[in-house]
């Protein structure tokens, strides 16, 4: 039997981790009165959000009505479920607790209008409602959290997982060495369910990586890849990563960028402190893979996709062992990248406008004119604010010039 | 001339001394003479193709022609496009075609009147886009004149070349450029050393617009001396690319990347210009293995054109240069 089922808590008292959050939820439910704000649980998976709600319903004798990501949840579906509940509080004379799990998984496209509806209707809830989400990054979830009481759950800390792991191993009369235990704990990322699955796999001797979870977060996947013992395991991480190969030339949102496998490997490698010759050999692999990605995107030959995981997994494997490589979302550290991005944002329009004025390309204006324009303004003590009117610049463009002047003045000193 | 333009020319000599009529163009005398004749009979003006190195006056001459043919309204009736900014077929389909289509309605009843499309850095266009252009040129030739500008004629597809009269602009001679810079110095009351002016020629290989910018920056430092010219040249994106190559060759991969990110994100440097400048700068560095350097550059030039992630390709290039630099087994000579 799966350990994650064996050790699923049967009562609220058996749960561990996130003590404060649990107490807050219990207090909320026990003191709930008509018109009280609904509850929004925010936290990573496998820390007990869903389990807690189910056990509480049992303990406080509620009928639990549940809806999760496997149900379609557009406005109409939600209305059909929620309205009757809100209108007659006790369908069968019993108290009802509504639980909407994975609300951040309500999709903008498939579940049209779902979140908007929730935001509206939750202001008038007449029964206790608990919602759960993994992140609050989404703007809609943020809006939703404004009409709710939010309780945050955190990943369970490694030292608590270690105690639990020892307890589980003891009860099965199994042993893992310190290194194996550390690996199991590291990989579970504070997720108790993942811990149990990983531990059982390790004990059984098959090095399963993602088990029944088909997609793993890109960060976990990259870290898993770099710490894998053999290339088979490494490949497993890559092929199960919740990420794709995309072509940034068509534009990329920051989330798409994060979920671009090639970018994830690239940023992890170049932001590490490894020697340039190691970097050179690893980047050469990525560069060749990128040629395939480019051809695939350009010619719409999606069949090429099936080769790419292999090229990366086996191509990088040998040269990326024991370098202490870790996932990094950013290819350049923030203190350096932030000012560059900020200047770039300001400069964008100015480049376009002046390239047109000087009958040249943005690139040539930027490299053969702009540094001189700034220098000339600097030498003649020209305030860019004067030029805002004369050169017909908008405020942003004026700021862009002012920023470059400041940098030049600093260098001059 | 509009008000804003006058103000930029007050600020920058390169704009102040930009010729606005063919008569003011002092170099490329053979070409200018021939163009004078063409401009005098507007109805018989063919499509033009200007080829030649950067900074010799191709675009300036094109704008002069537009101004002379179209008069005061030249800006309204001229579409200036730079293929280095938008190089794909989308640019041709959306902007060129649209402009050509609209103008027919506006100008149908006037007789000699037509509009001009100046297509700069056309050798940056994909061959797909050039092919699309071919049809548009034919379909709109009653009302539109094209002036196509490029550095390398060989990168313009033959069917386009055959639809235009080709003018090959030549690199400015040293005396020509030095003489021109001298004139500006006198008009602006700037002290200069003759040697320094000659050095500007070396630093820009005859690129007039870059030369004038260096001249003005050096003048701003007091007078046009050798050391000021060196400092002024150091300001350019070209020099910064040279610094990036040096950093990469000496194994300072991350430092090289920081500088490159700045050039691309802040100064809008295109990958093509990066490769172009890198090659020119490396030529002056006296490397031990110039052949291997060129081979690496060629490989990544290709990979950039096929691959999807320019950032990855450029970083991989810098790392490869680090490997080459360590092979030279010492700090490369600069």
CB A208 within 8 A of CB A197: yes
Apex A385 CA angle, A380 and A390, nearest 5? 85
- Which positions in chain A touch B8 (Cβ < 8 Å)? 354, 357-358, 391
- The structure tokens listed for B265 are 């994100």
CB contact under 8 A, A361 and B315: no
pLDDT of B334 strictly over 50: no
Q: Name the H helices within chain B.
A: 3-11, 13-16, 29-40, 58-70, 89-91, 97-107, 127-139, 158-161, 174-187, 194-204, 208-220, 226-233, 237-249, 253-265, 271-283, 290-306, 310-327
| C-beta atoms of A376 and B14 within 8 A | no
Q: Which positions in chain B touch A339 (Cβ < 8 Å)?
A: none
**Is B11 close to A355, i.e. CB distance below 8 A?**
no
Q: Which residue did the predictor score with more confidence, B203 or A249? A: B203
Does the pLDDT at position B129 exceed 60? Answer: yes
pLDDT tens figures, A15-28 = 988 989 999 999 99
How far lies A87's CA from each of A62, A65, A68, A124, A326, in Å? 17, 15, 22, 11, 52
Is the CB of residue B59 less than 8 Å from the CB of residue A360?
yes
Judge contact between B181 and B200, C-beta under 8 A.
yes
ipTM of the complex: 0.86
Alpha-carbon gap: A342 to the closest alpha carbon of chain B (Å): 9
- Whether B253 contacts B322, CB under 8 Å: yes
How many Å apart are CA A231 and CA A219, to the nearest integer?
A: 18
Contact A392 B209 (CB under 8 A): no
Q: How much of chain B exceeds pLDDT 90, in percent?
A: 58
The residue in chain A having the minimum alpha-carbon distance to the alpha carbon of residue B248 is A276
Query: If you measure CA to CA, which chain B residue comes closest to A280?
Result: B319
Higher pLDDT, A200 or B238: B238
User: Do A362 and B266 lie within an 8 Å CB cutoff?
Assistant: no
The yes-or-no verdict on residue B108 having pLDDT over 70 is no
Residue among A248, A370, A387 whose CB faces B267 most closely: A370
- A375: chain B residues, CB-CB within 8 Å: 217, 220, 232, 235
A337/chain B closest Cα distance in angstroms: 8
Is A362 in contact with B85 (Cβ distance < 8 A)?
Answer: yes
Nearest residue in chain B measured CA to CA from A389? B4
Q: What is the residue whose two structure tokens read 């900074």?
A: B55
A68 burial class (0-12, 13-18, 19+ CB within 10 angstroms)?
A: middle
Identity of the highest mean pLDDT range in A98-112, A132-146, A293-307? A293-307
User: What pLDDT, on the 0 to 100 scale, is given for residue A91?
Assistant: 55
Q: Which residue has the higher pLDDT, B103 or B276?
A: B276
Contact criterion met (CB below 8 Å) for A128 and A40: no
Inform me whether the pLDDT recorded for A331 exceeds 60: yes
Among B135, B160, B138, smallest CA distance to B149 is for: B160
Does residue A229 have a pLDDT over 70?
yes
Q: Where are the domains of chain A?
A: 18-152, 215-332, 335-412
Q: Residue A250 — pLDDT band, cuts 50, 70, 90?
A: low
Give the DSSP letter string of A271-302: TS---HHHHHHHHHHHHHHHHHHHHHHHHT-G
Q: Do B59 and A262 touch (CB under 8 A)?
A: no
pLDDT of A164 over the 60 cut:
yes
Whether residues B309 and A390 touch (CB distance < 8 A) is answered with no
**Cβ contacts from A onto B, under 8 A:** 203
State residue A230 phi and psi, 5-degree precision. -130, 165
User: Using a CB-CB distance cutoff of 8 angstroms, which residues of chain B are in contact with residue A369?
Assistant: 12, 14, 209, 213
User: How would DSSP label each residue in B181-247?
Assistant: HHHHHHHTT--B-HHHHHHHHHHHTT-HHHHHHHHHHHHHTSSB-HHHHHHHHTTSHHHHHHHHHHH
Q: Percentage of chain A with pLDDT > 90?
A: 30
B283: three-class secondary structure by DSSP: helix
Res. B241: pLDDT tops 80: yes
Residue-level pLDDT at B146: 92
The structure tokens listed for B257 are 């990347």
d(CA A197, CA A1): 11
Mean pLDDT of all residues belonging to chain A: 85
Average the pLDDT over each of A128-137, B101-110, B295-304 and give the range with the smallest value: B101-110
Task: Assess whether pLDDT exceeds 90 at residue A210.
Answer: no
Confidence band (pLDDT; 50, 70, 90) for B329? low
Measured between beta carbons, the chain A residues lying within 8 angstroms of B241 are 367
What CATH architecture is A18-152? 3-Layer(aba) Sandwich (3.40)
On whether the CB atoms of residues A269 and A286 are closer than 8 A, the answer is yes
Chain centroid, CA A154 distance in Å: 15
Q: Which residues of B touch A286 (CB under 8 A)?
A: 312, 316
* pLDDT of the residue at B242: 96
Query: Each residue of B272-289: pLDDT tens digit?
Result: 999 999 999 998 898 889
């Amino acid at each position: 039997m799966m350990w994650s089922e064996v050790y699923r808590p049967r009562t609220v008292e058996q749960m561990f981790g996130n003590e404060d959050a649990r107490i807050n939820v219990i207090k909320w439910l026990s003191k709930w009165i008509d018109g009280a704000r609904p509850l929004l649980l925010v936290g990573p998976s496998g820390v007990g959000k869903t389990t807690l709600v189910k056990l509480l319903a049992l303990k406080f004798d509620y009928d639990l009505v549940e809806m999760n990501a496997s149900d379609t949840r557009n406005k109409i579906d939600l209305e059909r479920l929620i309205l009757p509940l809100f209108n007659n509080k006790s369908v069968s004379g019993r108290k009802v607790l509504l639980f909407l799990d994975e609300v951040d998984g309500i999709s903008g496209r498939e579940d049209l209008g779902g979140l908007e509806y929730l935001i509206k209707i939750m202001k008038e809830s007449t029964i206790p409602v608990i919602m759960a989400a993994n992140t609050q990054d989404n703007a809609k979830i943020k809006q939703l959290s404004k009409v709710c009481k939010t309780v945050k759950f955190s990943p369970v800390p490694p030292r608590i997982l270690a105690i639990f792991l020892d307890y589980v191993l003891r009860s099965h009369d199994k042993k893992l060495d310190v290194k194996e235990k550390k690996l199991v704990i590291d990989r579970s990322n504070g997720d108790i369910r993942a811990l149990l699955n990983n531990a059982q796999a390790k004990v059984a001797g098959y090095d399963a990586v993602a088990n029944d979870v088909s997609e793993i977060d890109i960060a976990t996947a990259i870290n898993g890849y770099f710490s894998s013992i053999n290339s088979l395991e490494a490949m497993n991480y890559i092929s199960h990563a919740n990420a794709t190969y995309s072509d940034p030339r068509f534009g990329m949102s920051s989330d798409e960028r994060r979920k671009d496998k090639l970018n994830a490997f690239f940023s992890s490698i170049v932001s590490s402190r490894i020697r340039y010759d190691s970097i050179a050999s690893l980047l050469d692999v990525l560069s060749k893979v990128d040629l395939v990605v480019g051809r695939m995107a350009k010619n719409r030959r999606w069949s090429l996709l099936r080769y790419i995981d292999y090229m990366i997994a086996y191509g990088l494997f040998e040269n990326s062992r024991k370098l202490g490589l870790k996932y990094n979302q950013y290819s350049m550290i923030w203190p350096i990248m932030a000012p560059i991005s900020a200047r770039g944002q300001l400069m964008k329009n100015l480049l376009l406008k002046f390239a047109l004025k000087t009958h040249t390309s943005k690139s040539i204006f930027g490299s053969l004119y702009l540094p001189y324009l700034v220098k000339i303004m600097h030498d003649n003590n020209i305030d860019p604010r004067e030029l805002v009117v004369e050169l017909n610049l908008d405020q942003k463009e004026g700021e862009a010039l002012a920023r470059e002047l400041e940098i030049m003045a600093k260098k001059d000193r | 001339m509009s008000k804003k333009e006058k103000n930029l020319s007050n600020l920058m000599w390169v704009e102040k001394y930009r010729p606005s009529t063919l008569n003011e163009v002092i170099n490329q005398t053979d070409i200018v003479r021939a163009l004078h004749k063409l401009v005098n009979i507007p109805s018989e003006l063919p499509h033009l193709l200007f080829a030649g190195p950067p900074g010799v006056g191709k675009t300036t001459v094109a704008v002069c022609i537009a101004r002379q043919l179209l008069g005061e309204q030249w800006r309204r009736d001229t579409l200036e496009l730079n293929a280095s900014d938008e190089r794909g077929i989308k640019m041709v389909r959306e902007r060129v075609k649209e402009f050509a289509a609209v103008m027919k309605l506006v100008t149908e009843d006037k007789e000699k009147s037509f509009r001009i499309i100046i297509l700069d850095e056309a050798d940056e266009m994909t061959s797909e886009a050039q092919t699309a252009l071919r049809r548009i040129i034919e379909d709109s030739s009653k009302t539109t004149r094209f002036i196509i500008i490029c550095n390398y004629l060989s990168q313009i597809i033959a069917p386009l070349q055959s639809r235009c009269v080709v003018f090959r602009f030549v690199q400015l001679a040293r005396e020509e450029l030095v003489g021109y810079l001298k004139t500006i110095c006198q008009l602006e009351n700037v002290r200069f050393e003759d040697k320094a002016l000659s050095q500007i020629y070396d630093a820009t290989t005859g690129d007039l617009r870059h030369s004038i910018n260096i001249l003005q920056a050096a003048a701003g430092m007091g007078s046009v001396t050798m050391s000021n010219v060196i400092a002024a040249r150091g300001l350019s994106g070209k020099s910064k690319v040279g610094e990036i190559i040096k950093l990469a060759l000496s194994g300072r991969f991350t430092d090289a990347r920081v500088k490159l990110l700045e050039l691309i994100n802040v100064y809008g440097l295109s990958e093509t210009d990066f490769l172009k400048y890198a090659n020119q700068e490396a030529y002056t560095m006296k490397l031990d293995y110039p052949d291997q350097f060129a081979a690496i550059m060629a490989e990544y030039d290709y990979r950039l054109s096929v691959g999807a992630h320019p950032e990855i390709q450029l970083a991989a290039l810098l790392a490869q240069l680090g490997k080459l630099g360590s092979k030279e087994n010492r700090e490369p000579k600069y």
